[in-house]
Structure 1
């Protein structure tokens, strides 16, 4: 053992005494003492980097019980929730429709499953309350990871006397037109219309400000979002949105860089902030060349590389919005664009043509501003949560649990990122369905792991949404993801980009 490290370890008279104060043991192997010393030094540095927070509490934590409304898409999407809850002594009770897959976990990862009618109607929050009371269990908190369940869950929390955010504030976050009314952007008009007559009456307001983005009043994953270059295009898109059953929000398009902003918010302060780069999507002529034009995300890069001054503007704008809405605790996943940014996205000149940020040739004299697109008062989706955990060592899913019971002490401890991040980069690669047909290739990641293990060993998370024989719908009508995977590199952003590109090119699947 290197002398400088040996001197920092506590003295122990015998092995038994040492083991009594030991958390874990690592057995290191090497061809000679010099190699062992080198390996031990690197291991010690890595442990200092990764385990850089207090490892003990002054008092043992009390077991708590939390109700989670909505069981989620699949076990793979909820495994981190169950593991995290068990690690911090939280018992989970899940509310969802009868027969949901979580029901199979009752008595194991899930203490209890409460089946209810999940119809989103006026009586929904009342049914949540009734099921909790009928269970005979005492709850310390209630939360949900689904946007459309946030408001009814908050109302249920109020009736149960549990900590919660204001349902009115949550409603502003989940309704795009209410959000824009509360957070207007000077020089960037927007309007929300429920009929074509209303649109025609206000169409003249739009003409000086094209292009525009048209989107449904409520929605997720960029569903129904489109860009209009002319008044005729806007009219067609608004009509299609209204025909689908939603009011249409129309707002001026911003061509500046788009980012995700993720906050851990404790006692009205930012305990952790990540700002993620999102390269332009296929509708902006920047996504994968085999994917149809849409605003669905194809890539997210952690951490972002905009200038510190622009990160500061984004951070302060997001903080001001959460403060205005009266939030005190929670995790928040926000989307924004930078107006008058000093940077722009370009494609690489080599055969890969990978996107990269570069300074604009002509710098604008005005200061950059941030436009918040939306605030999601919850953790990110599974892909981005896994990426943040791999990059920073912070588990947003677990933090949402702790903050819904106002366990701010442990939440602060678990919001500390790794110490050394200078060469760390995680990238989520989203594979957009290229065409309609029948899918074959459910084992494409395992196949690549067998053929090119050096690529797949860089993957920290992978999900595929189709099984062999499943029908892939026409993506020109509504874009969706075929799969996604997350690459982590400790050799820098360019390395992570290259590995992600190589994996995309070598995955084998068919849609026929």
Structure 2
């Protein structure tokens, strides 16, 4: 009996190894060591809750030497991080960037003084300048105009045929609104935005002023776009592209935010701050195919044929919608289906992986590391890109939900975080929930000043990756329990 048990366990391990490691291990030749310039190192120190270490660990594992360009006195200059970089070149970076950024980058690369194989950034607003620099250095990169269109929300919307209007001040926007029959409800958002900051849902002309004043020009510039609000189910769609070929593709469901028409009510939050991202998507197969084909067509026509492409979008006139059932919000078939067919609605294109925490959930669910692949694509290591784009043989290993804990507190508080690590606290109190959490992270420490949501700055306190090997429904139940069990205070 004991030997039979050992044999069964051995067989189970063999099957799991086959599932996880079914990829071409033998390369045509030895891997070449490459040098990659990284513009913008990541602002958060890992010693202070930052989650950018995965990028540097991936580079080490792949034998890619990183030459980092960022502002002086960055945490990556400190001796304990010297092994993460080949060199650190102090370089003046601002966001929004200034017009002379290309020359600044070229000067820093010249100061490094050795050959390089590629240039990359994970800050969208720098891409057009990097394209200029790469062209002058003879390094392959995407077309500058493609990157300009992809990283500007207005240009993206116009490219795919949305009725969109651009303005750079309140008076200009009100003038546009008074002279045009705008398709209310609207979305108002900065052209150069991130983290859904400054994004507002506008139902009428009277709400425009409040929405426009909510945009922080110092962070996102003065230009913003006004376009139709699509109420269909929202998704993140991620592509691994090489020479225009899709090596890997996956879609996750972004559950409604507090500013959505069907969104939850959460304290003082009324914005498009992420709350729950569910992997894999529960959209009908034909709608996932619709997203894939439509978004891929846009990328290729635009000229974006290589890289990790992180797109956000919705399914307009979807056959499913979010409904609350027994306290759980999830997709269900629409009770009254419309006569018009579903269509893909593109919100934005990011020519980079989704954030580090989001990429980690893809890595654990599918077995694909977006950050490592982004580095390999940037140095033209095609053989290893193809090998490492293979997901688990049997598909996603479980249903997994990234539970975001956004910053929120009474506006009467100073905004000083007054708790310890809220993730460690929850998992110590609820061992049953801890066994369903694959990763978590608390981004704040006691005494840290955290911006209030009303400032327009979107801050996360923490995240939990909650999984179920049983069902999506159980994963959603567990995610709800985790959110309900979070404890923290501000003073």
Does the alignment reach a TM-score above 0.5?
yes
Asked which structure has the greater RCO (Cα within 8 Å, sep 6+), the reply is 2
Q: Distance in 1 between matches of 2:441 and 2:397?
A: 26
- SS of residue in 1 equivalent to 2:84: coil
With over 3 angstroms needed to count, the CA separation of the structure-2 counterparts of 1:330 and 1:510, relative to structure 1, is same
Give the C-alpha shift of residue 261 in structure 1: 0.7
Q: Quick check: 2:25–2:387 contact (8 Å CA) kept in 1? A: no
The yes-or-no answer on 1:109 pairing with 2:84 is: yes
Q: Quick check: 2:257–2:271 contact (8 Å CA) kept in 1? A: yes
The yes-or-no answer on 1:446 pairing with 2:424 is: yes
Q: Distance in 2 between matches of 1:103 and 1:324?
A: 40
Q: Distance in 2 between matches of 1:333 and 1:314?
A: 13
Q: Quick check: 2:153–2:225 contact (8 Å CA) kept in 1? A: yes
Q: Distance in 1 between matches of 2:408 and 2:52?
A: 28
Which of 2, 13, 18 is matched with 1:48 structurally? 18
Q: Quick check: 1:423–1:493 contact (8 Å CA) kept in 2? A: no
Give the C-alpha shift of residue 133 in structure 1: 1.6
Partner of 2:402: 428
Partner of 2:369: 395
Q: Distance in 1 between matches of 2:171 and 2:267?
A: 38
With over 3 angstroms needed to count, the CA separation of the structure-2 counterparts of 1:167 and 1:211, relative to structure 1, is same
Give CA deviations for 1:181-230 in whole Å, capped at 9, x if unaligned. Answer: 21213xxx221122444334432465462111111221111111111111
Give the C-alpha shift of residue 355 in structure 1: 1.3
The yes-or-no answer on 1:247 pairing with 2:226 is: no
Give the C-alpha shift of residue 236 in structure 1: 3.8
Partner of 1:407: 381
Q: How do 1:173-184 residues align onto structure 2 when only pairs under 5 Å count?
A: 173-184=150-161
Which stretches of structure 1, 4 residues or longer, exceed 4 Å deviation after superposition?
Answer: 204-208, 239-245
Partner of 1:74: 45
Partner of 2:259: 283
Q: Quick check: 1:211–1:229 contact (8 Å CA) kept in 2? A: yes
- SS of residue in 2 equivalent to 1:497: helix
Partner of 1:27: none
Q: How do 1:227-266 residues align onto structure 2 when only pairs under 5 Å count?
A: 227-238=201-212, 241=215, 246-266=222-242
Q: Distance in 2 between matches of 1:397 and 1:242?
A: 29
- SS of residue in 2 equivalent to 1:510: coil
With over 3 angstroms needed to count, the CA separation of the structure-2 counterparts of 1:71 and 1:363, relative to structure 1, is same
- SS of residue in 2 equivalent to 1:355: strand
Gaps of 5+ in 2: none
Partner of 1:507: 486
Give the C-alpha shift of residue 239 in structure 1: 5.3
Q: Quick check: 1:390–1:488 contact (8 Å CA) kept in 2? A: no
The yes-or-no answer on 1:157 pairing with 2:134 is: yes
With over 3 angstroms needed to count, the CA separation of the structure-2 counterparts of 1:442 and 1:242, relative to structure 1, is closer
Which of 95, 99, 104 is matched with 1:127 structurally? 104
Q: Distance in 1 between matches of 2:311 and 2:349?
A: 4
Q: Quick check: 1:106–1:113 contact (8 Å CA) kept in 2? A: no
Give the C-alpha shift of residue 111 in structure 1: 1.5
Q: How do 1:168-317 residues align onto structure 2 when only pairs under 5 Å count?
A: 168-185=145-162, 189-204=163-178, 207=181, 209-238=183-212, 241=215, 246-284=222-260, 285-287=262-264, 289-290=266-267, 292-317=269-294
- SS of residue in 2 equivalent to 1:65: strand
With over 3 angstroms needed to count, the CA separation of the structure-2 counterparts of 1:487 and 1:144, relative to structure 1, is same
The yes-or-no answer on 1:87 pairing with 2:66 is: no
Give CA deviations for 1:30-77 in whole Å, capped at 9, x if unaligned. Answer: x93232222212211111111111222232111111111111023342
Q: Quick check: 2:76–2:82 contact (8 Å CA) kept in 1? A: no
Q: Distance in 2 between matches of 1:159 and 1:458?
A: 50
The yes-or-no answer on 1:339 pairing with 2:324 is: no
Q: Quick check: 1:440–1:510 contact (8 Å CA) kept in 2? A: yes
Q: Quick check: 2:450–2:459 contact (8 Å CA) kept in 1? A: no
Aligned length: 476
Q: Distance in 1 between matches of 2:395 and 2:238?
A: 17
**Larger Rg, first or second structure (1 or 2):** 1
Give the C-alpha shift of residue 171 in structure 1: 1.1
- SS of residue in 2 equivalent to 1:511: coil
Q: Distance in 1 between matches of 2:85 and 2:187?
A: 42
With over 3 angstroms needed to count, the CA separation of the structure-2 counterparts of 1:81 and 1:176, relative to structure 1, is same
Which of 451, 455, 463 is matched with 1:484 structurally? 463
Q: Distance in 2 between matches of 1:256 and 1:430?
A: 21
- SS of residue in 2 equivalent to 1:282: coil
Partner of 2:302: 325
Select between 382-391 and 477-486 the one with higher mean Cα deviation. 477-486
RMSD between aligned residues: 2.0
